[in-house]
Amino acid sequence: MTADELRQLLRRADEAYYQQDAPILSDQEYDRLMAELIRLETESGLVPPDSPSLRVGGAPTKTFAQVAHPVPMLSLSNTYDEGEVRDFDRRVAGLLEGAAYSYFVELKFDGMAVRLRYENGVLVLGATRGDGTTGDDITANLRTVRDIPLRLLGDPPPVLEVRGEAYMERAAFAELNRLREENGEAAYANPRNFTAGTLKQQDPREVARRPIRFFAYDLVRDRALAGDTHAAKLDTLRRFGLPVSAHGFHAPHIDAVLARIAEIDRLRHTLPYDTDGVVVKVNEDRHRDPLGATAKAPRWAMAYKFEAEQAVTTINDITLQVGRLGTITPVAELEPVLLAGTTVKRASLHNEEEIQRKDIRIGDRVIVEKAGEIIPQVVQVVDPAAPGRGPQFRMPTQCPACGSRLLKSDEEVAWRCVNAACPPQVRIRVEHFAGRDALDIEGLGEAVVDQLVSRGHIHTYADIYRLDVDTLAALDRMGPKSAANLMAAIDASRAKPFAKVVYALGIRHVGETTAKDLAKAFGSLDALRNASEAEIAAVDGIGPRIAAAVHAFFRNPDQAALVDRLVEAGLRTTDDREAPKGDAFAGKTVVLTGTLPTLTRSEAEALIEAHGGKTSGSVSKKTDYVLAGESAGSKLDKARALGIPIIDEPEFFRILGD
């Protein structure tokens, strides 16, 4: 195919997948065609502004250019009170002096407002709201968001200005936070912050790796067209291929508006993304100019915000949690309180700067809520002027676990313990190394690891391979038979795939997918550890931050010695992949959830990969199957909501033909 033909096919594939939810290419075929397009464009040096290749992100930038908004992106006046909604209606009626009008009610997404500009149907600009009149040009970042079409469908006008919201689904946010904490990074407080932080990244390739979504909610014209309505404009946006929420509602009068608000208040807990309220707009565009605007907000629209479920409790203590890579996270130890259906006893305080900004102290009465209905967080102190408050919090200078000096770099807000022998870090690193997603050493769980570290039997994960049956049998609740089984599991770990070994090393920023990419690209441990930072960064999907972390890991003398010991222990150090056993899942993406009757998760993943498929940790429109077992969680609910086929273990075997 020519480059033009590839671009046309990939555009059709994007539109079919993201707008119609009806894929025409497998993930494998899409990736192969994309790689071919990038090769052709690199050779020719020609990359049109609507090329699908821009989805993977371009070179990093040092600064964002400033762009003026031709029509200001005003904020909305907010209320939490039904009476003020009726007051809004009375003001509209008074200003329109008897003219007929209706309303349109839509979700207020809890994300980041952005502006898109299309010229002759091609996306030429994407910008942040900024101060309402001027924003940052983040076009390169927004081009990586798959929901945003790079070329519109149909016959759009010469210039089209779109307003919308970039957001992140809660499940994706929770998974990314899990990976951040696993890689020694501070967790984000909520999906909104994560979205904003992502879109302000200087490296579009990093943005492309994060699951940012987008909804369009307004089409902006210089002048209102006769007879145009907000509902009709949303239909126009849909026709041009832009994603629009299905929860918009045309309300003929204010009573219908309030009824719809009550419905959305019940509905919002079932949505896969956060919404903190609804937006109420006068539906008829011809009324916007007569109604006008204040200096900050239009008079033809308002936002009704839902009260977040909150509770008041007391901070009994602030403790410090040591992560796998030494990150120190302050945690509020709370007087137990019921919140959103669960008892909350602890809440992350994120970092020292967050504590100081909110002036949180031990003994304070505080308001807590669940950010994104997932993570408990302290919102604010009830009475910061209360007499007799405790002293201001100061981060200790020594690690609470090992007494080593804590350090903080200029580029981070987090403090770290850099003592590789710090017991909590050792425990977590060993648990990670032996975990199901790494070398899967069954029997080497938290309780056993805790005893081994506490008794001085292991100081690093390399010490696992020096254990013997007698040492293990002497542990609490172990015994000779369990010790023999654990030794067999340790021995079996030597044959785990090279990619699992790379992941098990615990290199900062290297998750399972990145470990597979590195193993495939370099083929052996020797090649990987001797690669330059530039060679690592050249691997598809590896950015400069990951490359720097991998390169630094292998240049660290202590880590290099650990790796040498693993090589001596006989772990697999080459990417000796077996030929596929079949193609039952060729090009398919499968998500696992729950406990299967006979297979472990790792065994199921291995079977899927051996038959041409791949696995993912989160459910999306790109998921082909969800393999569900007992006690399946939210992934199963999301799969049902998206209409994704759900299979159990017997059906899984039937597909395999085994």
Cα–Cα distance, 280 to 107 (Å, whole number): 9
pLDDT given for residue 143 in this prediction: 92
Q: Domain with 429 in it: what CATH number? A: 1.10.150.20
**446 and 299 share a domain?**
no
Residue 381 belongs to what H/E stretch? Answer: strand 375-381
Asked if pLDDT for residue 492 goes beyond 70, the answer is: yes
Q: Domain with 339 in it: what CATH number? A: 2.40.50.140
DSSP tag of 472? H
Indicate whether this model's pTM tops 0.85. Answer: no
Helical pair 557-569 and 544-555, crossing angle rounded to 10 deg: 80
Torsion, CA 312, CA 318, CA 319, CA 323, rounded to 10: 80
- Residue 489 inside a domain? The answer is yes
- Residue 207 inside a domain? The answer is yes
pLDDT given for residue 18 in this prediction: 59
| Helical segments of 458-539, H only | 469-473, 479-492, 498-504, 512-522, 525-529, 533-537
pLDDT bucket at 21, cuts 50 / 70 / 90: low
pLDDT digits (tens, 9 = 90+) for 577-587: 655 677 888 88
**Domain boundary pick from 372, 407, 442:** 407
pLDDT given for residue 181 in this prediction: 65
pLDDT given for residue 642 in this prediction: 83
**520 belongs to the catalytic site:** no
pLDDT given for residue 578 in this prediction: 56
Name the residue among 509, 234, 271, 439 with its Cα closest to residue 518: 509
Give the CB-side neighbour count of residue 99, counting CA atoms within 13 A: 16
**161 and 266 share a domain?**
yes
Range of the domain at 479: 425-493
- Residue 555 inside a domain? The answer is no
Measure CA of the first residue to CA of the last residue in the chain; give whole Å: 38
For 183-192, what is the mean pLDDT? Answer: 70
Catalytic residue among 108, 233, 370, 516: 108
**441 and 483 share a domain?**
yes
**593 and 641 share a domain?**
yes
pLDDT digits (tens, 9 = 90+) for 351-363: 888 899 999 999 9
Q: CA-based angle 137:141:146, to the nearest 5?
A: 130
pLDDT digits (tens, 9 = 90+) for 219-270: 987 665 667 899 999 999 999 999 999 999 999 999 999 999 999 988 887 8
**232 and 271 share a domain?**
yes
Asked if pLDDT for residue 55 goes beyond 80, the answer is: no
More confident call, 322 vs 465: 465
- Mean pLDDT of all residues in the chain? 87
- Residue 444 inside a domain? The answer is yes
- Residue 280 inside a domain? The answer is yes
- Residue 455 inside a domain? The answer is yes
pLDDT bucket at 452, cuts 50 / 70 / 90: very high
**294 and 317 share a domain?**
no
More confident call, 30 vs 252: 252
Structural domain total, the chain: 5
**315 and 449 share a domain?**
no
Q: Domain with 17 in it: what CATH number? A: 1.10.287.610
Q: Domain with 223 in it: what CATH number? A: 3.30.470.30
pLDDT digits (tens, 9 = 90+) for 554-578: 999 988 999 999 999 999 999 866 5
The DSSP secondary structure of 614-648, one letter per residue, reads EEESS--TT--EEEE-BT--HHHHHHHHHT--EE-
Strands 78-79 and 301-305: parallel
DSSP tag of 17? I
Cα 573 to its chain centre, rounded Å, is 31
| Helical segments of 493-600, H only | 498-504, 512-522, 525-529, 533-537, 544-555, 557-569
pLDDT given for residue 124 in this prediction: 94
**Domain boundary pick from 475, 493, 511:** 493
Cα–Cα distance, 582 to 604 (Å, whole number): 14
**333 and 475 share a domain?**
no
Query: What does each C-alpha distance from 513 to 517, 542, 570, 619 come to in angstroms?
Result: 6, 10, 24, 16
**80 and 15 share a domain?**
no
**48 and 78 share a domain?**
no
For 273-279, what is the mean pLDDT? Answer: 89
Asked if pLDDT for residue 59 goes beyond 80, the answer is: no
pLDDT given for residue 351 in this prediction: 86
**Domain boundary pick from 32, 56, 80:** 56
**145 and 33 share a domain?**
no
Cα–Cα distance, 55 to 142 (Å, whole number): 9
**333 and 401 share a domain?**
yes
Percent pLDDT > 90 in the chain is: 47
Strands 66-68 and 213-220: unpaired
- Residue 338 inside a domain? The answer is yes
- Residue 568 inside a domain? The answer is no
For 375-396, what is the mean pLDDT? Answer: 90
Q: Is the dihedral of CA 516, 518, 523, 528 positive or negative?
A: negative
pLDDT given for residue 19 in this prediction: 58
